[in-house]
Amino acid sequence: MTEPAPAALKLPKQRNTGSLSRRMIGVAALWILVLLVGGGLALDRVLTTAITRNFDAGMEYVLNSMIASAEIGPVGEVRFSRPLADQRFLEPNSGLYWQVTGKGVEPFPSRSLWDRRLRTGAAHRDSAIHTYDSSEFQDQKLRVMERDIQLPDSPTIWRFQIAQSRDGLDEQIETLRRTLVRSFALLGLGLIVMAALQTFYGLWPLKKLREAIGAMRAGRTNRVEEAMPDEVQPLIQELNALLAHNEKQAEEAREHAGNLAHALKTPLTVIMNAATAHAADLPETVIREAATMRRQVDHHLARARAVGRRGHAHSRAVVWQSLEAVERAVGRLYAHVRFDMDGPRDLAVHTERQDLDEMLGNLIENAAKYGGGSVFVTVQQSGGFVECLVEDDGPGIPEEERQRIFDRGVRLDTGKPGTGLGLAIVRDVAEIYGGTVTLEESEDLGGLLVRLRLPAAA
C-alpha cells in the first residue's frame, strides 16, 4: 500500500499592490502629458502672437501709408496724393478695405467696400493705433486697425481705418496648431514608449532574481549566482547572507540534535543493561545516569536557545540591569557573600537579555559558591566589546586546569553541588554571539578572574 503524497506547502496569501512596471509607466506618461500640454499651450500662445503681430504689421504699414499720402481737397474732402499699391483695394469684397471718416462728412471708402461701410464705433479718440477684431460683415471676420488724425488745414478729426479678412490669419494659426498637436502627440508617444522600454529594461534584473529564487526553491541551486546591477547587488548579497545564516542555523540544530542523541545514548544503555540484569544498584544507577542526561539536556537547550535568538538583529541588553537582577537572585542563595559592582551603567551588549542573565548568573554564582565571601564585578568598554570581569577571593584555578574546566561535566571541587556545565554553557553562548570568556588570576582579591567579552550594542 502506497503512502499518500505529502500535502503541498501552503504559503500565506500575499497582498498584491499592483504592477511596478505599470505604476512607473503611468507616472512617466502622466508627467509627460502635463509637460507636453503645458509646453504646447505656451508655444501655441507665443507663435500665435507672433503670427498675429506679423499680420498687424502689414496692416499698420498700409495705414501709415494712407495717412502719409492723405490731404484735403478743394471742397474739404480727403484725397490721396498717390494711390495705394495693393490691387485688392479696387476689387469688391476682396477682403482688404480702407475707409476715412470725419464728423459730419460722408465716409470716404475704398472701392473694395462697394456698398458696405465700416463701423466707426463709439465716439473716442484714437490718437494711437487701435486694433481689434470685428464681425460686422456676416460673411467675413475682420481684423480692423484705426487711428484718428487731424490733417493740415482741416479742423475735422479724421478716422483712418484699415480692415482685412481674418481668413488668412486664422488659416495660418490653424495650420500651426495642427502641426503642434501632431508633433507633440508623436513626441509624447515616443517618450512614453521610451519610458516603457526603460522601465522594462531597468526592471529586468528583478525578473532574473525571481527566476533565481525559483531555482533555489526547486533545489537546482542554493545561492543566487547571477551577475546583477550595482543597485540590485546589495540585495543579492543580503539574500545570500540570509541563506547562509539559515543554513548555518539548520546545521547547528542538526549538530545539537546529533550531539544530544549521542550524549543520551550511553546513559540510556547503562540504565537498560542494569535493568535487564536486575542489578542490585539499579536505583543508584538510574539516579546517576538521569543526572548525567539532565546535564546534557540543559547544556544543549541553552545552546539551542542562544542560536535561535542570535538572528535577532536588534537584540540588545543593558549590562548593569542584568547585573542587578543576578546580584539580587544570587544574594538570596548566598547571604554571607559580599557583592561589589563598578563601571558605567549605560553599557549595552548585542545579546538577548535572557542569555546575558544566564551567562552572568553562572559566573557570579560560581564566584559566590567557590569564593571566600567576596565577589567583585567590573564592567568596562574595550573597543567594540564590553567586558564583564567577575573576581572572587577563593583559591582560584591552576593555570594548567583553566582550559579543561570548560569541558562539559568537569568539576574541580566535587564537594559542592553542581553539574559542571556552568562555564561550558557560558563559553558556548558567548561564542554564539561572537564573544569570548577567559580565566585569569585576580590581582586584587587573589582568586579567580573570569573575563567575559561580548559585542557592544549601539
> Is the same domain home to 298 and 319?
no
Q: Look at residue 258 in the predicted model and tell me its pLDDT.
A: 66
Euclidean distance between CA atoms 25 and 196, whole angstroms = 6
Q: What is the distance between the terminal CA atoms of the chain, rounded to a whole angstrom?
A: 60
Range of the domain at 270: 233-308
What is the reported pLDDT for 14?
Answer: 60
Q: Where is average pLDDT lowest: 9-13, 53-57, 81-85, 413-417?
A: 413-417
Burial label for 449, CB within 10 Å (0-12, 13-18, 19+), is buried
Domain count, the chain: 3
* pLDDT at residue 51 tops 70: yes
Whether 411 is in a domain gets the answer yes
Q: Is residue 406 part of a domain?
A: yes
User: For residue range 367-382, what is the model confidence (pLDDT) as tens digits?
Assistant: 998 888 899 999 999 9
Other residues' Cβ atoms within 10 Å of the Cβ of residue 438: 13
pLDDT above 70 for 306: no
Query: Does residue 170 share a domain with residue 66?
Result: yes
Do 163 and 249 belong together in one domain? no
Average pLDDT over residues 418-422: 48
Q: How far apart are CA 95 and CA 309, in angstroms?
A: 93
**Per-residue confidence (pLDDT) for residue 12, from 0 to 100:** 59
Q: Does 447 lie in the same domain as 353?
A: yes
Confidence category of residue 181, pLDDT binned at 50, 70, 90: very high
Residues 298 and 322 placed together within one structural domain of the fold: no
pLDDT in the model for residue 124 = 62
Query: Which residue is it, cell 505599470?
Result: 22
Whether residue 302 is found in the same domain as residue 171: no
What value does the mean pLDDT take over residues 386-404?
Answer: 87
Same domain assignment for residues 262 and 184? no
Amino acid letter for position 31: W
- pLDDT tens readout for residues 217-238: 787 888 887 777 777 788 888 8
Q: What is the pTM of this model?
A: 0.51
In terms of DSSP H, where are the helices of 165-232? 167-202, 204-217
* DSSP label of 456: B
Q: Which has more confidence, 161 or 396?
A: 161
* pLDDT value of position 37: 93
